Homo-oligomer: A and B are copies of this chain.
Amino acid sequence: MKITIVGLGLIGASIAKALSGRAEIRGIDHEGCVIDQALSQGVIGEGSSDLSLAGGSDMVIIAVPVGRIVEIARGLIPHIGPDTLITDTGSTKAHIVECIDELWPWFVGSHPIAGKEVPGYSASQADLFSGKAAIITPSNTTKSECIERATWLWEECGARVTVIDPCMHDELMAVISHMPHLVSFASMSFARDLHIHRDLLGAGFRDFTRIAASDPVMWKDIFLANKQHILQLIDGFIGELGMLKEAIHKDESARLEEILRTYSTIRRDLYEDNR
């Protein structure tokens, strides 16, 4: 099995490491020093900054920021054989699936639910996907063989595969991932002058703001690609803050407690062990 990975960042390089010894891995990246490092560490067998390296692959995985995935797919097509599977790892799916479906018959979108706030090759790790969920998002026209081959990929990386429609994926991810990131990012607006009080920051602040250290380029793309759902959720969230504000302003102690109890019950029910 010959696999080419485009983008040797956190996700792409972690896939390469996870598949070590189980496939012949080539890596494409625009950073020459990343390719050199991946080659010298044996993470990839061949490397280049040119998409033509993908020629002869059985599978190509596009692991670049959401805003560049379609353009990379378009650039790959002249170089790859007629039944090469293309998949991607983007955090939004509807638009990407719609565009690449038109370009290439052997495509299915993927989204591994794994990652951390530190981007880049040096943060990659072989067990990043181990025990995590990986979502595959076929459209109406996706060949079942594409789903099977993508399932093989993610299971080889140690992930559990779930199949979801691309539009439902985006609606769900807006809630599960995109809004938490947006709100955690926005919370840093309070924190401009906190460095002088660094000793006083507790575990609550640390965990709540951890994802605010995420990559701005990656998240700008995600927020724009999923704007339809995100704009609606921002409005809902502002409404929720308005309700809390009113209860606090009017000293409505019982109502405030009831609202907070509803929130905390949702959280506790989601994680039955309360952690």
Q: A175-B194, A180-B209, A206-B271 are in contact. Are A240 and B200 (CB under 8 A)?
A: no
B249–A199 contact, CB under 8 A?
A: no
Chain B residues contacting A215 (CB-CB under 8 Å) are 264
Copy number of this protein in the oligomer? 2
CB distance from A165 to the nearest CB of B (A): 13
Which residues from 248 to 269 on chain A have a C-beta closer than 8 Å to any C-beta of chain B? 248-249, 251, 253, 256-258, 260-264, 266-269
Classify the secondary structure of A's interface with B.
Answer: helix
**Size of A's binding interface in residues, CB under 8 A:** 91
What sequence of 0s and 1s flags, for each residue 159-193 of chain A, a beta carbon within 8 Å of any chain B beta carbon?
01010000000001001110111111111111110
B213–A274 contact, CB under 8 A?
A: yes
A200–B162 contact, CB under 8 A?
A: yes
A187–B180 contact, CB under 8 A?
A: yes
Chain B residues contacting A258 (CB-CB under 8 Å) are 216
> Footprint of B on A, CB under 8 Å?
67, 113-118, 132-133, 135, 160, 162, 172, 175-177, 179-192, 194-195, 197-217, 219-220, 223-224, 227, 230-231, 233-238, 240-242, 244-245, 248-249, 251, 253, 256-258, 260-264, 266-271, 274-275
